Structure formats: structure tokens, C-alpha cells
Amino acid sequence: MEPYRIKVVEPLAITTRAQREEALKRVAYNPFDLRADEVTIDLLSDSGTGALSAAQLAAGMNADESYAGSRSFYRWHAVVSELTGYPHILPTHQGRAAERILFAALLEPGSTVLSNTHFDTTRANVELTGCQARDLPCAEAADLDSDYPFKGNIDLSALQQALESAQESPVSAVVMTITNNGGGGQPVSMENLRQTAELCRRHNVPMILDAARFAENAWLVTRREPGYQDRTPRQVSEEAFGLADGCIMSAKKDGIVHIGGFIGLKDPELAEKCNGLLIATEGFSTYGGLAGRDLDMMAQGLLEVTEPTYLAERAEAANYLAERIRAVGVDIVEPAGLHALYLNAGRLLPHIPPHQYPGTALVCELYLRGGIRSAELGSLYLGEEDDQGNPVKSAPYELVRLALPRRVYTRSHYDHVAQTLADIAKDPSSVHGYRIVGQSPILRHFSIQLEPVKSAG
């Protein structure tokens, strides 16, 4: 059961089918453009959407808003230092600011960054510095149905090869994303982190953790990795941070706050460079784009997030929803992670070709039938068409992500999600595809405009 009870509630927007049809048409079938109060269950992201605890709110009330050297900063600094062990810690307003600052200070233009899988802003920030971002997911990740426990791992032999051929294309950093959000929310094993760290050390390349979901990764390590059953998520987290040369963190996930992030580093010179950029673009070193109350609430959130009772329930809730979804005959990326479930829309809607976006079709159907907002991770996100709209590249899988905000929805909300999927799965052939009628050249899935295609082909 949830290891907390509810003290403050927020009404859900209960809408009619007619209202949802009108809303979806108005936003050209792009759920990013819906007003949130047109959504009943919002599973668009687990980022910044968690519920604060009473202790976090109290910490926020006790915050110090001094411009420099606030009490809040020192309290926050002590918590983050103890968790990560890094001697140099800089606050940022969110994860992508940490990425931008660290990459500007660390990466050599023209070089390559290797990763188990870059998150999309991480990739964009690597490319903005004139570098190439290469993903090297382990081979097991390609089989969506297998229950291999660590599909978030990097492919160690591909990594070794890339590091050894660095004369042609120098490698500036290896970024390990825990858990692997782009790869189905799958965890990375400690063994894989250790071997990656060893390879990086041998080639003198820094290993950086993208630690947005470090606690969830640690929880799955304690459940799935031999030798870790008796360790606490906190101990596993500390070990993971210790293996790396530094981290970038979006605290909007496992900091359980609405805004916040940080950079942690071992290297004092690199930290000094980052600090200069931080002051110029985010804020002074003791607030980095955050209010004192944000720092205090993050400090408290970072303590709560590694609590075994919290993590056990989070995993249970995700498993509960996963079980119900499997039971209605909809496949998900296995095994279920914690922060999101990824629906296999391509398999549910085989009559919709990739360039009519089966993922989008399922996203729209979930909204129309249940007021549920989700995100496509398929050919709308990763595919390409030529100027005439003819398909050039489609995504390897057509997925839909149901992200699970922290401490927000209960099992009966998840029952509603499963019931909506059950209704869709009863007659999938009635679901139709979509075609693009407008898009922007960068990160198109945020601004795409679509219209329904009523007949296949």
C-alpha cells in the first residue's frame, strides 16, 4: 500500500467525449497543445509532476531567500554531497541546464559522446556543442518482450571498440542514463556501470551519470542484481555516483520537486569552468536559477526518494498497472520499470502503417475514450519523411509512454487507464491513423499538427 495518506486534494477534470473530440481537433491532434484542465489522467510525463510531502512544504516555508550563501543552499549542499560524494556541486534550474553547462565546459567540438541511450535534450545539448551523440544500447534491449533484467545496459564491446578507435573520432565523454528513459525505462546494472567506468578510466574519458532516476535504478538493482539483495537503495545510489566522474541531474524526477537540477563533479578545474558558465547563464553558485525554497524542497525530496517503503510501493503500483494492461491483451516493453510503462502500439494496431503513426493513433484514442494523456515514442518522434511527405525512415518500434507521476495517482486511477485500454483492445481495427499537416524542423513532436486518415493506405 501507499506509505502515505492524502492531506490535500486537487479535483480532476471530468469531461465528456464531445468535449474531448472538440479539444483534440482544436489542437490538431497534438496532445502537447491541450490545456491540462482538458485532461483527466495526465501521464504525459513524470517530470516535475510529483506530489510534495508535508515535510517538503515545511522545508520550503523555512527556506532562506538571501541572494548569496543562503541557509537553504548549505542544507541542500550537505544532502547532495552526502548522497553523491562529489566535492563540487552546482545547482541548476533543471536537467537540461546542467547538460548545457557541463557539455559546453567538457566537450571538444568535433568529438563524440557515447551513451547507453541519450535522452532527447541530452542529445540536443551534445549536438549544440558541435559533437556527435552515439547510442550503444546492449543487444538485449532490442527484444521488447524478453524479461532480461538490465536492458538499460550499454553494449560493453561496442563501447570498447569505440574507445579504441578514438584516433579517428575522439570520445569526450560517456554518459550513462539511469534508468534508461529513451530505452523503455530499463535499469543499468552495477556490473555494467563498473565495467564502463573501468573502460573509461583506461582510455582517460570521463564517465558522467545522467542520474534523473538514480533511486529507481537503485531499487531495481536491489531486486534484480545478484549480490545486491541486502543493500539499501541509498547504498546502491552512493556506489553508482562513486563509480562516475560526475553527474547531471534533473531533480524533477527523483528529486520529487517541480523544478530543479544539479551538476556534481570530482574534477575541480572542470567544476570551475562550469561555475563560470553557471553564473553567466543560470545564477550565482549558491542558487543556480532556483529559489531557496526549491533547494530546501529538493534536499528533502532526495532524502525521501531512497526510502525503501516509497520505492517498493512505486514499483508495486507500476506492476499493478502493467499486470492489468497485459491482462487486456496489450503488450508493454518488458519487464515493467518504475517511472513509465511503454505500450507496444505497433503490435496492437498492425493495420496502421508506421507513416500513419500507430503510436499517435493510440495516444489520441486514449484521450478520446478516457481523457488520458500519454506520449508517442514511435515514427512521429523518430521517423522522417521527404518534402512530399513520403516515408524515408520509420522508428524501430511504435511505442506509447504512460509516464507515472510520483505519489499522484492511486490504483483506481490506474484501473481507469486499464479499462480504457481494454475498450480499445476489443476492437483495435476501428482505430485509424493520422497524417502530418504541419511541423517545425526541430523536435517536431512538440509542435506537430495532424489530421485523421479515415481509410488505411
Please, what is the minimum distance in Å from the beta carbon of residue 353 to ligand F0G? Answer: 27
Binder to ligand F0G among 56, 70, 129, 181 (CB under 6 A)? 181
Separation of alpha carbons 254 and 431, rounded Å: 36
Interaction with ligand F0G in 395-414: which residues (CB under 6 A)?
403
Of 212, 240, 244, 403, which one is the catalytic site residue?
Answer: 212
Please, what is the minimum distance in Å from the beta carbon of residue 298 to ligand F0G? Answer: 12
Contact 112, 170 (CB under 8 A): yes
Per CB under 6 A, 95 contacts ligand F0G: yes
Of 73-81, 115-123, 281-289, 361-369, the segment contacting ligand F0G by CB under 6 A is: 115-123
Of 117, 185, 154, whose CA–CA distance to 382 is shortest? 117
Annotated active-site residue 357? The verdict is no
CA 250 from chain centre, in angstroms, equals 9
Separation of alpha carbons 257 and 292, rounded Å: 13
Binder to ligand F0G among 129, 153, 196, 250 (CB under 6 A)? 250
Angle among Cα 169, 174, 175 to the nearest 5 degrees reads 135
Per CB under 6 A, 96 contacts ligand F0G: yes
**What CA–CA distances, in Å, run from 111 to 106, 127, 131, 267, 318?**
11, 10, 5, 20, 39
Per CB under 6 A, 47 contacts ligand F0G: yes
DSSP code of 142? G
Please, what is the minimum distance in Å from the beta carbon of residue 261 to ligand F0G? Answer: 5
* Complex with ligand F0G: residue 79 or 404, whichever CB lies closer: 404
DSSP code of 334? S
Binder to ligand F0G among 103, 119, 342, 397 (CB under 6 A)? 119
Of 63-71, 93-101, 292-300, 358-366, the segment contacting ligand F0G by CB under 6 A is: 93-101
Contact 192, 154 (CB under 8 A): yes
Of 33, 64, 120, 267, which one is the catalytic site residue?
Answer: 120
Compute how many residues bind ligand F0G; rule: CB under 6 A.
Answer: 16
Beta strands 171-177 and 261-265: pairing type? unpaired
Separation of alpha carbons 30 and 28, rounded Å: 6
Binder to ligand F0G among 94, 222, 300, 306 (CB under 6 A)? 94
Please, what is the minimum distance in Å from the beta carbon of residue 83 to ligand F0G? Answer: 18
Annotated active-site residue 120? The verdict is yes
Interaction with ligand F0G in 120-139: which residues (CB under 6 A)?
121-122
Binder to ligand F0G among 105, 212, 270, 271 (CB under 6 A)? 212
Please classify residue 189 by burial: count the beta carbons closer than 10 Å to its beta carbon, then call 0-12 exposed, 13-18 middle and 19+ buried: buried
Q: Strand, coil or helix: what is 333?
A: coil
Please, what is the minimum distance in Å from the beta carbon of residue 25 to ligand F0G? Answer: 25
Please, what is the minimum distance in Å from the beta carbon of residue 121 to ligand F0G? Answer: 5
Beta strands 171-177 and 207-210: pairing type? parallel
Annotated active-site residue 210? The verdict is yes
Contact 376, 455 (CB under 8 A): no
Beta bridge partners of 336: none
* Complex with ligand F0G: residue 181 or 356, whichever CB lies closer: 181
Would you please indicate which residues are annotated as catalytic (active-site) residues?
67, 119-120, 210, 212, 253, 445
